[in-house]
Amino acid sequence: MSTQYHQRQNAINDSSGGSGCAMFLIIAGVGLAIAAILFGAVIAFFTIDASETTTSEFVVEDEVEVVVAATDPIVTDSSADTTPASYPDRIYGLIELLRISSEDYTELKASIGERDEAWEVELLEVFATWRDVDHQIGQIVPSPTHQASYELLSGAASHYRDAADAIEPAILSGEEDPFSKGANSVNNGAIALKLAETTLADELD
């Protein structure tokens, strides 16, 4: 009886030990699987993060290149105007504007008998040119070499501007002889303009 009892007890112990060992192996396997999954997720996360960082770095580099290209200095005509060599060209250009507009004024004055709305518009454009030239001359810093022609041109533009200020209201109010208001200013402007042109030619010789 005792022998059978010990045999049964040993069988139970063997069975329990085998079951415990099997359970341990199952738990260990599940743990390893979970660890493998977590490890794979971490690797994938860092791989994606690294690719995003690389992409953003390229984007930043492209932006920097665009900014650098946009801020490169651009040489314009206005920068060239600061050199003494540009003064004769600018002065001569303004002389031409006054000369051509004064010729237009003379033609319009002679055709006052054909006075209509279009005629008035053309005359007002001449006055606008005179005022604009006077303004542009004020923006120029004269070169010592061309000081004389600059002052003559400045005087001519002032006379033409005064003529425009005197004649334009008479035109708009419908006076019969509007040109008498600024006749002296126009004549003085024409004389100063001619002197400015010849003086500039002498300065360039």
Task: Choose the final residue of a domain: 72, 98, 129.
Answer: 72
pLDDT given for residue 107 in this prediction: 96
198, pLDDT greater than 70: yes
User: What is the tens place of the pLDDT at every residue in 24-49?
Assistant: 556 766 666 676 676 665 565 555 54
Residues 56 and 135 in one domain: no
What is the spatial distance between Cα 42 and Cα 24, in angstroms, rounded to a whole number?
A: 27
Please answer whether residues 178 and 127 qualify as being in contact, where contact means their C-beta atoms are separated by less than 8 angstroms.
no
What is the spatial distance between Cα 99 and Cα 196, in angstroms, rounded to a whole number?
A: 11
Residues 118 and 191 in one domain: yes
- Calculate the alpha carbon distances from 140 to 89, 111, 150 in Å: 12, 36, 9
Lowest mean pLDDT among 74-78, 90-94, 177-181: 74-78
Residues 118 and 135 in one domain: yes
Query: Crossing angle of helices 117-138/86-110, nearest 10°?
Result: 160
* Most trustworthy range by pLDDT among 8-17, 19-28, 40-49, 81-90: 81-90
State the total domains in the chain.
2
Task: Choose the final residue of a domain: 31, 55, 72.
Answer: 72
What is the spatial distance between Cα 119 and Cα 133, in angstroms, rounded to a whole number?
A: 22
pTM score: 0.59
Least Cα distance to 103 among 201, 200, 190 occurs for: 190
76, pLDDT greater than 50: no
Lowest mean pLDDT among 43-52, 57-66, 165-174: 57-66
Task: Choose the final residue of a domain: 9, 41, 72.
Answer: 72
Q: Which domain holds residue 174?
A: 77-204
Residues 54 and 14 in one domain: yes
Residues 136 and 53 in one domain: no
